Each structure stands twice: as structure tokens, then as C-alpha cells.
Amino acid sequence: MATEQALDPSLPCCRYLLSALLAMEPSECLISHARACGGGSITEQVQQFILDHCLSTPGDFYAPYLKNFLKKLIAQVECDHGCVLDQFYELYAQYITSIKDDSLGKRDSRICKRISFLFPDGCSELQTCPHSRVLTFPLQCSINMLEGDTGCSIWPSSLFLSELILSHPELFSNKLCFEIGSGVGLVGLCLAHVKASKVILSDGDLSTLANMKFNLELNNLNVETGIQRNEDTGSVKCLFLPWESASETQLQDIMPDVVLGADVIYDPVCLPHLVRLLVILLNRKNMDSSCKGLSPNSKHENGEHYRKGATDRSDGIYKSVSNGWNGQPKEAPVAYIACVIRNIETFNYFLSLGDKANLNMEDLTDSLKPMNLLLYMQSYKQADIKLLRITSN
Ligand SMILES: C[S@@+](CC[C@H](N)C(=O)[O-])C[C@H]1O[C@@H](n2cnc3c(N)ncnc32)[C@H](O)[C@@H]1O
């Protein structure tokens, strides 16, 4: 039998298949990518690609997930009357045994997903990852999204904000970026990647915070001191910050240029607290008065984000009102909040609270679109996400 030529791993369909497996997309998604690689069927050539490039280190995967994928793949090839490579049967047999053994012991409820952002040819992002066109972040998550610790799962809006950050780095680079309800920390990793001057992540759940710190370390960011571990990464701080109990002073001390929030609009009980938080974080006047009171021992060790200067509303919009550390005018702080609208009443409640609090909420869903860097993820659709830009009126 003539040997078929090996598949080129740089083909988009091959990159999608590999990325989907690393991100632990559902088996149906992997099967669909595998079919695309083989022009409609999972040929021996595709199977060989999977063995050589996707499963070369099967120990890296969560065993029950891989077992399920192998089972579906074998069933699909058999169903198509194709020929299953022997190695697949062998690997599947190994997993059946190992998982039986495993189930007797204690199961770890955390898994490692690897989220890859795939950049198109000629993208300026190539300057930061010139060789691969792929940026991959390993992230520890909980197995089950509904296990209770919602912050240990990757929610679609954080994928969206990550795409936004990587597509429009100019909105975040050299800025102090502060995220609320940061969950696993993916947005923070992207902010550090585009060189935000400082990244502060926060969450009100302690186990989520511990998991977030773990993920930052996993991606070579130093969390404890906020000092860079190597030159390519920014400093990242993690704060325990429940919206209900965050004090005004604590919030004023942060003085962000950009506030971010992904999938944080879902619990009506929390929304008044969330809006209070935004009002304080986005209010320039608050910040200016708090700056006056900053002691030399203030949290901003290097004085980098100390703002002073008068507000200017001559044209009806706050802009360039304060001076940054280098004397350059600083723009008024802005929040980018991304969300999936699961309950329109909750979303409208958030809008009405924002309106009452004199926040300016602009819907950017149609005007600020990120690149599609996660096309391989069939479980995530950019179109499901709403993007708000919020400023203080
Ligand atoms: C749906 S998850 C989204 C996590 C992450 N932003 C993402 O998109 O993947 C909501 C996050 O907000 C945090 N959160 C919810 N209510 C909060 C509150 N009242 N104070 C602080 N954090 C809160 C949760 O702990 C969780 O990490």
C-alpha cells in the first residue's frame, strides 16, 4: 500500500484540531475538526496526524477526557467504514484500564486546559510571537462549571475580552488595568502579554483567587511581589475584593486607567455593589481627592499612577484631565464590561442602576469587534457577547 503524505501541521484545519484538543473542547468538536482535516472523513493520514502531533504526550491530558475522545473517534471511523489505526485501539484499551484503577483512588477535581489564540498571517501580533502565530496559556480550571466555584471555569466573556485585548493592544498597553471578578486569570495574562503597565486582578472568592494565583505562576508571572520574573512579562497583583465590602478608600487607591469585567452581570443581588464599585473606580474627582491624601507609603510604590490636575469638561466630555507620572495628560478611566445576556431583566437592571448612578454606558458590540482568534472553539461564539464601554458622566 502506498504511504500517504503526512498532513502539514501548519494547515488551519490541523491547527484547529490540535488547539481544540488542548483546550479540551467537546469530543464532537474534535471529530468535526478531524473530518475537516481529511476532507470529510477521518482518514488514516488524519489519524496519524493525531497520534504524532496531538497525542505525542498523552500523559498531559485529563485521562477521562482523552478516553472519551478516543472512544468517539474509533466509533466514528468504524461507522464511516474506515480503517482505525491499531495504535488507537491500544491507547483506548490502556485508558479503560487506567481509569478503572484511577476511580478507586481520589479524583482531582481540577484540570489543565490550554487556550491557544491563533493569529492570522501578517498580523501585527506576530511581533510578539513571531515564530508560531500561536499564543497558548495553560490554565487550571475545575472540571465542572457548575461545581460551585464559578470563578474556576473559563466563561465566554473572558475569551472575548482576551481576543479584544490581543486585537487592540493599544487600548491596554502602558495602562494600569484592573479587573473585577477575574476568575481563572486569562484576561490578566493577556493584559500582561500586551504590556499593560500594571495588571491588578481581583475576585471575591478565596478559592478562585488561589486558583488564579496558581495560573499566573503557571504562566511565569510573579504574583507575590508584582515584580517581573523575566523581561517579557508584566507585573500582576491579585486582590481579594468582594464588591459588597470593598471600601471606598481601597477602591480609590487602585486608580485604574482601564477597568475590565467579564461575565460579572448575572446576580441581581450583587449589581448595586458592582455599580457602586464602577462609580468609585471611574470617578476622576474621587481619584484626584484621594491622590491629595496619598502618603509616601501609598500602595503605588513608584508613584507611577499618581494623578493630579484639574478636570476639564469644556466640551462636555472628561478628557486628558490629569497628569501621569511623566507629566503627560492622562485620559479619563474607562471600563470594558463583556457579558452574555442570560436574563434580559438582570441586564436591564444593571443598565438602570448605571443610569441612576450617572454612568455613561455605551454599547460597543457592533463597533469594536476583536479578531476571531479562537475559531477552533465551537463552544464559544463572539456573537453571543455584548460589550459595554462605561465612563463616568
Ligand atoms: C461567571 S464568573 C466569571 C469569571 C471570569 N471573569 C470569566 O469570565 O471567566 C464570575 C466571577 O465573579 C466573581 N464574583 C461574583 N460575585 C462577586 C462579588 N460579589 N464580589 C467579587 N467577586 C464576585 C466570582 O467569584 C467569579 O470569579
Going from N- to C-terminal start, the domains of the chain cover 12-104, 110-392
Q: What's the CA-to-centroid distance between 135 and ligand 1, angstroms?
A: 25
Tens of pLDDT along 14-40? 999 999 999 999 999 999 999 999 999
Tens of pLDDT along 354-382? 999 999 999 999 999 999 999 999 989 99
List, in sequence order, every beta strand (DSSP E) within the chain.
110-118, 134-142, 176-180, 198-203, 236-240, 258-262, 322-323, 329-330, 334-340, 359-363, 385-392
Residue 61, pLDDT score: 84
- Each as own residue / partner, the long-range contacts of residues 320-324 (CB below 8 Å, 24 or more positions apart, any chain) are 321/284, 322/284, 322/287, 322/288
- Is the C-beta atom of 243 inside 6 A of ligand 1? yes
Q: Which residues contact 385 (CB under 8 A, 6 or more apart)?
A: 156, 157, 160, 338, 339, 340, 365
- Is the C-beta atom of 155 inside 6 A of ligand 1? yes
Q: What's the CA-to-centroid distance between 242 and ligand 1, angstroms?
A: 9
Which atom of ligand 1 approaches the CA of 203 most closely? Answer: 22
- Is the C-beta atom of 140 inside 6 A of ligand 1? no
Which atom of ligand 1 approaches the CA of 243 most closely? Answer: 20
Residue 108, pLDDT score: 57
Distance spanning both ends of the chain, measured CA to CA: 73
CA distance 128 to 231: 13
Nearest of 267, 268, 273, 251 to residue 178 by alpha carbon:
251
- Angle (CA) 70 74 79, round 5°: 150
Which atom of ligand 1 approaches the CA of 154 most closely? Answer: 9
- Is the C-beta atom of 162 inside 6 A of ligand 1? no
Q: Which stretches of the chain score pLDDT less than 50? A: 1-2, 104-106, 126, 225-233, 289-325
Helix (H, G, I), strand (E, B) or coil at 300: coil
- Is the C-beta atom of 203 inside 6 A of ligand 1? yes
* Joined grid coordinates for residue 108: 482531582
Residue 1, pLDDT score: 43
Nearest of 167, 162, 169 to residue 197 by alpha carbon:
169
Q: Whose CA is nearest to atom 17 of ligand 1?
A: 204
Q: What's the CA-to-centroid distance between 3 and ligand 1, angstroms?
A: 52
- Return the CATH fold of 110-392: Rossmann fold (3.40.50)
Q: What's the CA-to-centroid distance between 354 and ligand 1, angstroms?
A: 19
Residue with cell 477602591: 251
CA distance 279 to 282: 5
Q: Give the mutation target among 205, 343, 385 for probing the ligand 1 site: most ligand atoms within 8 A of CB.
A: 205
Q: What's the CA-to-centroid distance between 343 and ligand 1, angstroms?
A: 17
Q: Give the mutation target among 113, 150, 186, 270 for probing the ligand 1 site: most ligand atoms within 8 A of CB.
A: 150
Q: Are 82 and 42 in contact (CB under 8 A)?
A: yes
Q: What's the CA-to-centroid distance between 182 and ligand 1, angstroms?
A: 6
Residue 101, pLDDT score: 54
Q: What's the CA-to-centroid distance between 83 and ligand 1, angstroms?
A: 47
Helix (H, G, I), strand (E, B) or coil at 176: strand
Residue 17, pLDDT score: 96
CA distance 223 to 215: 10
Report residue 284: phi and psi, to 5°: -60, -40
Residue 107, pLDDT score: 54
Which atom of ligand 1 approaches the CA of 161 most closely? Answer: 8
Q: What's the CA-to-centroid distance between 205 and ligand 1, angstroms?
A: 8
Helix (H, G, I), strand (E, B) or coil at 101: helix
